[in-house]
Structure 1
Amino acid sequence: MSLQDKNIAMLYYGEQPHPAHTGFADAIGADFICCNPRSDGSKIDSPLNEFFNGFSLPDYDIYITEGSRPLYSGIAATIFSDSNLIYLGGDHRLRELSLGGFPNQAQTDTRYLRTRSKILQFLCQHFIDGAIAVSADSATFLQQLFGSPSTVRTAKPYVQRDVFKSLSTLSTDLESKKVAVIASANRGNVGDYKGIDMLVDSWPDVRNHFPDLKLEIVGKGHQAKHENTEGVRVKGYVEDLDTVFESIGLYVQPSRLEVFGVSVIESMVAGVPPLVTETTGASSELKGIEPALVVDPNPESIASGIVQYFDRTVAERENIAKECREYAMSFSPDVRTKIFHEEFKSLIDEIQ
């Protein structure tokens, strides 16, 4: 079966699709359909309205949703047709719903949680034909949710072409005493799932060991109160990532729950080792290089990981950085969009 014979649409929610998912859609010849505006241009303000709006979507052979939110419209569009619905697992919402929160959080009402998980499994196994995960960890979860490994494929995101080209030749300073984290919100504050507060809470302990270490928080939507912690600076939005990575000795991704985390790969492409939490999907990319760079999602473990890293000699850090950069060369747009095309086609061949 050739994908050229299929009419495919990528459903997305919000102002525009994620840039990496745009490349995925182009790789399979998909059109883009926004699920949250009405035909008159006004916004749809609830999941229920999004579901009913799905009945008026144009007819396609295959719908692929960018994340979980467009599933409302996607299910409605396919429920009375022979069209297929594929979930591109680029967000953590289904896992958060299944867990009742973030990993390692105490759950009290386990009976309610079990019921909700069963409902999620029923919906996924009866109304969604398959899924594409963006990390190994996400694939394991989705296989359990869909009840069949054969209906789940994995295609990891890529670094944007211009960014990849620039970072891959960047000169860095691993003697630097600066650490950075990158996270942004289009509106409001960066979500708790990014774990920025845990990184800030870890900083006093880090400074007890290395008083001259400084933390830069990069991106839109961060709380100014983070700067009340000594050695922490909220830098805000930065246009050019080169200026971030060329001046730091370590990148940290402290997420409580993140399906991948492209910034982790960007740091590796730049030749800056990343320290990531176990609950960050991209952590699987580091375990074969340096397992000590993967830590538990809590301030104590994050602080310990940072201290252990800076206890290393510069030569040791440079060796890790070299391995990271070499490994990350496989995350170019050309490589990853080709893999996505192959995995998507394999999935469609499986379910049809």
Structure 2
Amino acid sequence: MQVVMIHCGESPHPSHQGFADAIDADLYGLNTCSVDRVAGTIPVEVLNGLLMGEYDVCIAEGTRSLYGSLSHQLFSDSTLIYIAADQSLYQVRRHEDDQPFLNRLIGRYGMSAMETAFNRYIDGVIAVSEFTAEYTNEIVHAPTRIAHPYIQPDLYDELGTVTPDLASNTAVTVGGFAQYKGQDILVDAWRLVRDRFPGARLRLVGSGYPPELDQEPGVTVRGYVDDLCAEFERASLYVQPSRADSYPVSVLEALRAGLPTLVTTTTGNKTEAERVSSELVVEPSAERIADGVAGYFGRDVSERETMSATAERRGRRYDGKTQKEIFRRQFHELLSEIGH
């Protein structure tokens, strides 16, 4: 059986690269194969999909790769599996002005056509979380399996040596600044947290943060860092304030380091956070995030230590070997269900 993973960009997400290796799949980059001029544009991706060779099974990595994957299916009888690993389909169903223009355009005028195309050509779905599967299946009515991403091996080992500063009232979040990540909500929430805990500190790790956020009381913009473990060692709590996020690996990394993680109800990792405490899953608003942080900061160190131990046990599950084997098994079970 010949299998290919179709992706955009120079390479797939590191976890998805591992998934491809686990099932001995080829890789096909829609931005670099066949036609590479004006790379990164939808017309080029569609054309490269049409020019791709024949495979028994095609795996579309993420929503963006569906442009090329669906164009390939027009003249192919390959089985198409969609890895639902981003928040795009969640966003297009929201008719709100804070969405990218293309998402708003599709959401208002193109949902019916998109749903028709997806259900004609997509044979199965592998979603990275239950949350992602839920909103994907509102549009794609195909057999679905769940396979989570994992922590890269070297970092996995390093994170196992971290001792968080559980006595501190310091929180950290990791990720490039983006609207869907909700860091602006977290900064607003921090003003409310400081009303109750004046010494509370927030560390923003990742690229693209507006410089003015560093002037917010109690907020430090760290930017990109080489040593993530050092950031986790300074904190007692990790916060993922996303408006919508499929299953961010940064949450798994924090768990592996023994950091309790506060996440929103629109973050796929809520299934892990609630295993530590149901109070660590909150609505994506400044008020509810502030309440969640303050609730944690109000706990004594012994309670935090218990939560930290639970977090570390949950994070230990996300090594590459375990999760790649789960993906391999789910992939073959899905093919059996759809009759391939």
Q: Same fold per TM (> 0.5)? A: yes
Matches within 5 A, 1:183-198: 183-184=175-176, 190-198=177-185
Matched, 1:155 2:150: no
Match of 2:113 among 113, 119, 138: 119
Matches within 5 A, 1:173-192: 173-184=165-176, 190-192=177-179
Residue 311 of structure 1 corresponds to which residue in structure 2? 298
Q: Deviations over 1:48-106 (max 9, x none)?
A: 33212211112221111111111111111122211111111111112211233599x9x
CA distance in 2, matches of 1:216, 1:250: 11
Cα deviation for residue 15 of structure 1 reads 2.4
Match of 2:12 among 11, 17, 26: 17
Matched, 1:278 2:265: yes
Matched, 1:49 2:49: no
CA distance in 1, matches of 2:235, 2:124: 41
CA distance in 1, matches of 2:314, 2:218: 32
Matches within 5 A, 1:255-334: 255-334=242-321
Q: What secondary structure, in the 3-state scheme, does the structure 2 residue paired with 1:144 have?
A: coil
Structure 2 unaligned residues grouped into runs of 5+: none
Structure 1 unaligned residues grouped into runs of 5+: 1-5, 185-189
Q: Deviations over 1:106-152 (max 9, x none)?
A: xxxx9x8576333332122101111110001111222332224xx11
The 3 A distance-change label for structure 1 pair 235 and 82 is: same
| Structure 1 counterpart of 2:226, one-letter code | E
Residue 3 of structure 1 corresponds to which residue in structure 2? none
Match of 2:162 among 133, 154, 170: 170
Conserved in 2, the CA contact under 8 Å of 1:214 and 1:231? yes
TM-score, normalised relative to structure 1: 0.90
Task: Give the aligned CA root-mean-square deviation in angstroms.
Answer: 2.0
The 3 A distance-change label for structure 1 pair 337 and 316 is: same
Q: What secondary structure, in the 3-state scheme, does the structure 2 residue paired with 1:153 have?
A: strand
TM-score, normalised relative to structure 2: 0.93
CA distance in 2, matches of 1:136, 1:113: 22
Matched, 1:65 2:52: no
| Structure 2 counterpart of 1:212, one-letter code | G
Q: What secondary structure, in the 3-state scheme, does the structure 1 residue paired with 2:138 have?
A: helix
Conserved in 2, the CA contact under 8 Å of 1:63 and 1:84? yes
Residue 199 of structure 2 corresponds to which residue in structure 1? 212
Conserved in 2, the CA contact under 8 Å of 1:37 and 1:43? no
